[in-house]
Amino acid sequence: MRSHSCGDLRSDAIDSTVLLSGWVDRRRDHGGVIFIDLRDRSGTVQITVDPDLGAEAFAVAEHLRNETVLQVEGRVRARPDESRNERLATGEVEVLAQRLKVLNAPSRNLPFAVSVHDDEQVREELRLRHRYLDLRRERMRRNLSLRHQTVQTARRFLEDEGFIEVETPVLTRSTPEGARDYLVPSRVCGGEWFALPQSPQLFKQLLMVGGLERYYQVARCFRDEDLRADRQPEFTQLDMEMSFLDQEQILDLNERLIARIWKVVKGVELPLPLPRMTWHEAMERYGTDRPDTRYGMELVGVSDIVADMGFKVFSGAVAAGGSVKCITVPGGNDKVSNVRIKPGGDVFSEAQKAGAGGLAFIRVRDGGEIDTIGAIKDNLSDEKKAELLQRTGAEPGSLILFGAGDTATVNKALDRVRQYLAKELELVPAEAWNFLWVVDFPMFEFNADENRLEALHHPFCAANPEDLGDDPAQWSERLPKARAQAYDLVLNGLELGGGSLRIHDAALQNQVLQTIGLAQEEAQEQFGFLLEALEMGAPPHGGIAFGLDRMVMLLAGEESIRDTIAFPKTQQARCLMTSAPGGASDKQLEELHVASTWVEPEEN
RNA sequence: GGGACCGUAGUUCAACCGGUUAGAGCACCGCCCUGUCACGGCGGAAGUUGCGGGUUCGAAUCCCGUCGGUCCCGCCA
pLDDT tens profile A368-423: 888 898 888 888 888 999 999 999 999 999 999 999 998 989 999 999 999 999 98
Q: Can you give the pLDDT at residue A248?
A: 97
For B73, nearest residue by CA–C1' is A353
Question: What pLDDT sits at residue A604?
Answer: 39
| Strand B bases contacted by the protein (CB, 7 Å) | 1, 10-13, 25-30, 32-40, 67-77
| Residues sharing a CB contact under 8 Å with residue A560, sequence separation 6 or more, in sequence order | A229, A230, A553
CA of A299 to C1' of B4 (A): 28
Q: Which residues have a Cβ under 8 Å from the Cβ of A53 and sit 6 or more positions away?
A: A96, A97, A98
Cβ–Cβ under 8 Å, residues A453 and A445: yes
Q: What is the band of A572 on the pLDDT scale with cuts at 50, 70, 90? A: very high
Closest nucleotide over all strands to A223 (CA to C1'): B76
Quote the pLDDT of residue A177: 60
Residue (of A311, A417, A308, A309) closest to A356 by Cα position: A417
Report the distance from CA of residue A31 to the C1' of nucleotide B30 in Å, as an integer: 14
Task: Give the percent of chain A with pLDDT over 90.
Answer: 78
Say yes or no to pLDDT of A600 above 80. no
For B29, nearest residue by CA–C1' is: A63
Each residue of A170-207: pLDDT tens digit? 999 987 668 999 999 999 999 999 999 999 999 999 99
Task: Give A574 CA → B39 C1' in Å.
Answer: 42
Q: A228: closest CA among A599, A547, A603?
A: A547
What was the pLDDT predicted at A603? 46
Which nucleotide across the nucleic acid strands is nearest to A32, CA versus C1'?
Answer: B34
Burial class (CB in 10 A: 0-12, 13-18, 19+), A474: exposed
Q: Is the pLDDT of residue A602 over 80?
A: no
* pLDDT(A425) > 50: yes
Q: Do A25 and A40 contact (CB within 8 A), yes or no?
A: no
Residue range A56-79: mean pLDDT, rounded: 95
List the A56 CA – B31 C1' distance (angstroms).
21
Å between CA of A415 and C1' of B36: 54
How far: A125 CA to B61 C1' (Å)?
25
The overall average pLDDT reported for chain A is: 93
Confidence grade of residue A101 (pLDDT, cut at 50, 70, 90) = very high
Question: Looking at residues A441-447, what average pLDDT do you find?
Answer: 89
Nearest nucleotide to the CA of A115, by C1', is B38
**DSSP result, A180-207:** PPPEEE-SSSTT-EEE--S-SHHHHHHH
Output the pLDDT for position A411.
93
Q: pLDDT value at position A373?
A: 87
Nucleotide nearest to A118 (CA to C1'): B38
Confidence of residue A548 (pLDDT cuts 50, 70, 90): very high
Give percent of chain A above pLDDT 70: 99
Q: Regarding predicted confidence, which is higher, A603 or A155?
A: A155
Q: Is there a contact between A327 and A417 (Cβ–Cβ < 8 Å)? A: yes
A126, closest nucleotide (Cα–C1'): B69
Mean pLDDT for A490-494 is 95
Q: Which residues of A209-243 are buried (b: 16+ CB within 10 A; e: fewer)?
A: beebbbbbbebbbbbeeebeebbbbbbbbbbbbbb
- Gap between the Cα atoms of A525 and A376, Å rounded: 58
pLDDT of residue A525: 86
Distance A539 CA to B67 C1' (A): 55
**Per-residue model confidence as pLDDT tens digits over A42-64:** 999 999 999 988 789 999 999 99
- What does DSSP assign to residue A492? T
Distance A225 CA to B73 C1' (A): 14
Report how far apart the first and last C-alpha atoms of chain A are (Å, whole number).
57
Distance CA A175, CA A375 (A): 53
The radius of gyration computed from the CA coordinates of chain A, to the nearest angstrom, equals 30
DSSP state of A71: E
Distance A352 CA to B39 C1' (A): 54
C1' nearest to CA of A31: which nucleotide? B33
Average of per-residue pLDDT across A64-82 = 95
Cα(A293)–Cα(A600) distance, rounded to whole angstroms? 50
Please give the nucleotide, over all strands, whose C1' is closest to the CA of residue A66: B27
Biggest alpha carbon–alpha carbon distance for chain A: 95
Instruction: Count other C-beta atoms under 10 Å from residue A385's C-beta.
Output: 18
**H/E run at residue A334:** helix A332-335
Q: Residue A515 carries which DSSP code?
A: H
A263-272, A450-459, A485-494, range with the lowest pLDDT:
A450-459
pLDDT at position A120 over 80:
no
CA nearest to nucleotide B53 C1': residue: A604
**Range list of β-strands (E), A472-518:** 486-491, 494-501
**pLDDT tens-digit profile of A555-571?**
999 999 999 999 999 99
pLDDT at A521: 87
- Do A235 and A207 contact (CB within 8 A), yes or no? no
Among A552, A566, A564, which Cα is nearest to A133's?
Answer: A566
CA–C1' A96–B34 (A): 14
| One-character DSSP codes across A406-475 | SHHHHHHHHHHHHHHHHHHTT-SPTT---EEEEE--BSEEEETTTTEEEESS-TTBPBPHHHH-S-GGGH
Cα(A318)–Cα(A186) distance, rounded to whole angstroms?
55
Long-range CB pairs of A343-347 (<8 Å, 24+ gap) are: A346/A420, A346/A424, A347/A401, A347/A417, A347/A420, A347/A421
Residue nearest B1 (alpha carbon to C1') = A226
Nucleotide with the nearest C1' to A51 CA:
B34
Give the DSSP H/E element, type plus range, for residue A220.
strand A214-222
A151/A130 Cα distance (integer angstroms): 26
